């Protein structure tokens, strides 16, 4: 031992300058590390996505997303209450209707799956922040996020006709009692149209979370199982963003801020930390990020194979999202995180 120390000293004296700064001093114990930790993750930062389906009478597991379920309309209030009991204060709802058509009628029906779920949840859990996803894909027979027109081989998703239906949908959610609406379609001008229709109908207090920079991503795969919304033809690249474009993302965000978005969302999460960080610095708006189904499924698969430990992996990922600039994280782990961040 004495010998080893002597060897260490010889090496040190031989190779190192006298150190004044030793950053490791602050990493020596857990308490010291806690004292200087810059990024803290808490339950208030989280939003839990919940799926409600008119097609089922009891909850149904989503095979590609272990631990995530579609809930029946009768069970959705319990699912919301369980989230609140776990300490969460916000959920975002996605609906699966029985009937789909080419006008997405179920999206804005007064007695639609979301409208009924929102009013049931708000009557039982009035303090829970209820956010609704506003899109048409789950309600369209073709699975696209807007109204389509087919010319021979080509199909188009019509912007302005889609915006009209999205605005109508957002208004119906506000009428049902949603605290915030979250348009995820990526049509141009929808934030302004939604703000306008909400304001002219007396819903000035209903907020808008804009999926301002939503990238066409391979990581949405499992969600389409959960929301039963895969496009029947074509893909979504004519409206969702190209993953290569950061400047364009910032322009998209600037437009949404200008049109009245209250919170800006980036989706997916980990592959887009640069966008999150740049948007955080440029816009003085609360920033949200959606850690999506494919990102969730990847970690779950790694956990199953024994490659990583779930809790540590999830905490590291979520902390990185906060560190990059997210104020709010939408995650399928919200309930578990409510526990993990407390203990
Ligand atoms: Zn959609």
For the stretch 246-289, pLDDT in tens is 999 999 999 999 999 999 999 999 999 999 999 999 998 999 99
With cut-offs at 50, 70 and 90, classify the pLDDT of residue 4.
low
Cis peptide before 199 (omega within 30 of 0): no
Neighbours of ion ligand 1 (CB under 5 A): 135, 137, 145
Between helix 113-124 and helix 76-85 the angle, nearest 10°, is: 40
Closest CA to 235 of 155, 292, 162, 141: 155
Q: Per the structure block, which two tokens stand in for 254?
A: 């600037």
Entry pTM: 0.93
194 CA from centroid of ligand 1 (Å) = 16
282 C-alpha vs ligand 1 centroid, how far in Å?
27
Q: What is the pLDDT of residues 285-306, one digit of tens each?
A: 999 999 999 999 999 999 999 9
Whether the CB-CB separation of 102 and 151 falls below 8 Å is answered with no
According to the model, what pLDDT value does residue 342 have? 85
pLDDT confidence of residue 153: 80
- Rounded Cα gap, residues 50 and 70, in angstroms: 7
Cross-strand bridge partners of residue 47: 330
Q: For residue 332, give the nearest of 285, 268, 242, 262 by alpha carbon.
A: 268
268 Cα: distance to centroid of ligand 1 (angstroms): 14
Report the DSSP beta bridge partners of residue 208: 181
Q: Indicate the helix (H) or strand (E) that contains 165.
A: helix 159-176
214 is an active site residue: yes
Q: What is the pLDDT of residue 232?
A: 81
Among residues 100, 116, 122, 267, the one annotated as catalytic is 267
Q: Is the pLDDT of residue 97 over 90?
A: yes
- Residue 1 pLDDT exceeds 80: no
Distance CA 279, CA 267 (A): 13
Distance (Å) from CA 140 to ligand 1 centroid: 9
Identify any residues that bridge with 93 across adjacent strands, giving them in sequence order.
Answer: 50, 132
Would you say residue 12 has pLDDT above 80?
Answer: no
How is residue 48 written in tokens? 């839990």
On whether the CB atoms of residues 262 and 208 are closer than 8 A, the answer is yes
User: Is 175 part of the annotated catalytic residue set?
Assistant: no
- The pLDDT of residue 292 is 97
One of 100, 116, 122, 214 is an active-site residue; which one?
Answer: 214
């Amino acid at each position: 031992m004495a010998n080893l120390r002597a060897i260490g000293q010889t090496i040190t004296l031989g190779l190192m300058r006298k150190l004044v700064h030793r950053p490791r001093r602050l990493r020596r114990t857990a308490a010291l590390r806690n004292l200087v930790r810059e990024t803290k993750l808490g339950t208030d930062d989280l939003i839990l996505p919940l799926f409600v389906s008119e097609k089922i009478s009891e909850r149904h597991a989503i095979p590609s997303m272990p631990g995530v379920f579609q809930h029946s309309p009768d069970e959705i209030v319990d699912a919301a209450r369980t989230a609140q009991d776990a300490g969460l204060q916000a959920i975002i709802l996605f609906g699966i209707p029985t009937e789909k058509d080419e006008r997405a009628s179920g999206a804005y029906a007064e007695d639609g799956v979301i409208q009924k779920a929102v009013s049931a949840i708000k009557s039982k859990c009035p303090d829970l922040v209820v956010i609704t996803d506003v899109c048409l894909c789950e309600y369209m027979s073709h699975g696209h996020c807007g109204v389509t027109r087919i010319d021979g081989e080509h199909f188009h998703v019509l912007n302005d006709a889609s915006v009209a239906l999205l605005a109508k949908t957002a208004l119906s959610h506000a009428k049902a009692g949603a605290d915030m609406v979250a348009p995820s379609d990526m049509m141009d001008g929808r934030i302004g149209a939604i703000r306008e229709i909400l304001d002219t109908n007396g819903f000035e207090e209903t907020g808008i979370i804009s999926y301002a920079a939503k990238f066409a991503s391979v990581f949405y795969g499992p969600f389409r199982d959960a929301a039963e919304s895969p496009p029947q033809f074509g893909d979504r690249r004519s409206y969702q963003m190209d993953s290569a474009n950061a400047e364009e993302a910032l322009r998209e965000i600037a437009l949404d801020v200008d049109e009245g978005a209250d919170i800006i969302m980036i989706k997916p999460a980990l592959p887009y930390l640069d966008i999150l960080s740049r948007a955080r610095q440029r816009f003085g708006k609360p920033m949200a990020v959606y850690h999506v189904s494919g990102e969730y499924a990847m970690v779950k698969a790694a956990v199953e194979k024994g490659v990583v430990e779930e809790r540590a992996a999830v905490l590291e990922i979520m902390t990185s999202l906060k560190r990059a600039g997210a104020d709010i994280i939408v995650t399928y782990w919200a309930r578990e995180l409510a526990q993990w961040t407390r203990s």
